[in-house]
Structure 1
């Protein structure tokens, strides 16, 4: 587990210091794929460097599996740093893909057979077994990034920090890069921390997320839980918009925004409520998306019938988040 306790970091500035992190506290579970999401200059890269022990915070503590890293120096600090790999996208142009992945093992003095076995395994994780003999100039930007990830993982770290892992990679190749991060977590047991400005990256691979803005954590937690949380910033970013004209809602006794998570809820909950309470229940806005492998919907629904309130309450009782709209879509009343 990675534990951050009131982490604060500033840099010299003119006329006053620039505060990059402001009392950031987080817990990142071992084996998770954790995303730090936010706009440019939110402090994401500074946070990653502090966790990698490349930057020392002004105040606060970074703990790795309970170990206070501020108390480390010399040999012990170097040992702990080796457990935290950092994605470096720059490759050695004169080396093959396999040669790039092997470089950290050569520096550690790992013998030839063991080195070849480990390199082969990581090229497989990166989906690049057939590209092992090619040099970086022969690879696409996405393939190059996957080589860099394999190199970061080859020495067996406990933690991988990937600062903006899809930067400079075309959208059609970004999925391959994210698949390597997912396999590193699932197959190698590595705790993966990534930073990104791209909400699509969070949607596709993250279990948990922290939203960082101006150096502060504005919300954090399990991603699917946040999507069902009222006024969540990450939910507003990831879920389909639900704006509808006022005239479209006028013919219903009740209107509400409903967030449904999971196959059963998305596929059956609204039709079952309609049948059970003998109401007309129409989807008049919103849509469906996917978070990892989980379908998530945010619909604006109109309900007509004598048991409209009971139908909405029943939907909420079965795990959906229901926000009723009073006097049109501008006034929200949480159910």
Structure 2
């Protein structure tokens, strides 16, 4: 587990210090794939460097499995640092070495013997899906494949934590999925805790369990991704859920109108039709759409309802676990 307590970090500026992190508090469970999202200069990379013990905070504490890292130095600091691998946004590979040779490099520095080194390299090559590329050189690979080599190199020493700083930077969208899949597989098969920073909210939608949103060095919201999708005013929801753009005239044509967030196969597939049948109302989808968060289907629809029991139908949908917000045209505003 990674615990960040009241963390602040500044850097010298031209006229005054630049505050990169402001009283950051996070708790990241062991084996999680945790996303930190924010725009450029929001503090994401600084947070990653502080957690990796590459930078010291001005104030606050980073605990790794309960160990307070603030007072570590010398040999003990080096030992703890080995438990935290860092994947840089633009990782450098040795052009003259093969893929396997690049992955073996940190093991060679640690003095790991030949048979054990080959075994570890083979294991992580399998995890990143590059076993067939072991004897090629980085220049023969795509950018996404080179990024996966860097992931394998970071995993080779058996860290407990992997910090991936913007791991899909500079990679085409169609190839980025392969890098994210590798990080998810590392978490699942090796039990590595992955802390991923990114400016791209769609990365969170694909692989992260939990997320923190940074803005100007502050955590403005955090929690599980699915919980935040239902939170009123959530930035995560605004970024990840399908947009709704329905003309007012279309909404006004119904007795009631509401925005409905549905999470999970059963809710997305059956809840709205069942409500229409149960309450004998006409229920139409007039905006929004479907997406996925990891393997979970999620929908945000604007629905229009006609019929005597329109309010009852919407209340019933909310009682069954959907998140319903009545629009101004409705009689009251509720969220459940």
Q: Deviations over 1:199-248 (max 9, x none)?
A: 11111000000000000000000000100111100100110011210110
Map 1:1-335 onto structure 2 (within 5 A): 1-88=1-88, 89-327=91-329, 334=335
What is the deviation of 1:332? Answer: 6.1
What is the deviation of 1:72? Answer: 1.1
Q: Deviations over 1:251-277 (max 9, x none)?
A: 211100000000000000000111111
- Give the Cα separation in 1 of the matches to 2:333 and 2:289: 19
SS of residue matched to 2:287: strand
Unaligned runs of 5+ in 2: none
SS of residue matched to 2:70: helix
SS of residue matched to 1:95: coil
- Give the Cα separation in 2 of the matches to 1:81 and 1:117: 23
Spell out structure 1 runs of 4+ moving beyond 3 A.
331-335
SS of residue matched to 2:5: strand
SS of residue matched to 1:167: coil
- Give the Cα separation in 1 of the matches to 2:275 and 2:333: 22
When normalised by structure 2's length, the TM-score is 0.97
Q: Deviations over 1:55-111 (max 9, x none)?
A: 000000000011100021111111110000001411001100000001111111111
When normalised by structure 1's length, the TM-score is 0.98
Alpha carbons 2:324, 2:334 under 8 Å: kept: no
What is the deviation of 1:250? Answer: 1.3
Q: Deviations over 1:145-182 (max 9, x none)?
A: 00000000001000000000001111111011001100
Alpha carbons 1:287, 1:299 under 8 Å: kept: yes
| CA RMSD of superposed structures (Å) | 1.1
- Give the Cα separation in 1 of the matches to 2:304 and 2:317: 13
SS of residue matched to 2:289: strand
- Give the Cα separation in 2 of the matches to 1:111 and 1:17: 47
- Give the Cα separation in 2 of the matches to 1:208 and 1:332: 29
SS of residue matched to 2:239: helix
Unaligned runs of 5+ in 1: none
Q: What is the count of residue pairs matched by the alignment?
A: 333
SS of residue matched to 1:326: coil
Q: Deviations over 1:2-26 (max 9, x none)?
A: 0000100000002111000000000
Alpha carbons 2:265, 2:297 under 8 Å: kept: yes
Alpha carbons 1:105, 1:115 under 8 Å: kept: yes
What is the deviation of 1:327? Answer: 2.6
What is the deviation of 1:334? Answer: 3.4
SS of residue matched to 2:57: coil
What is the deviation of 1:333? Answer: 5.1
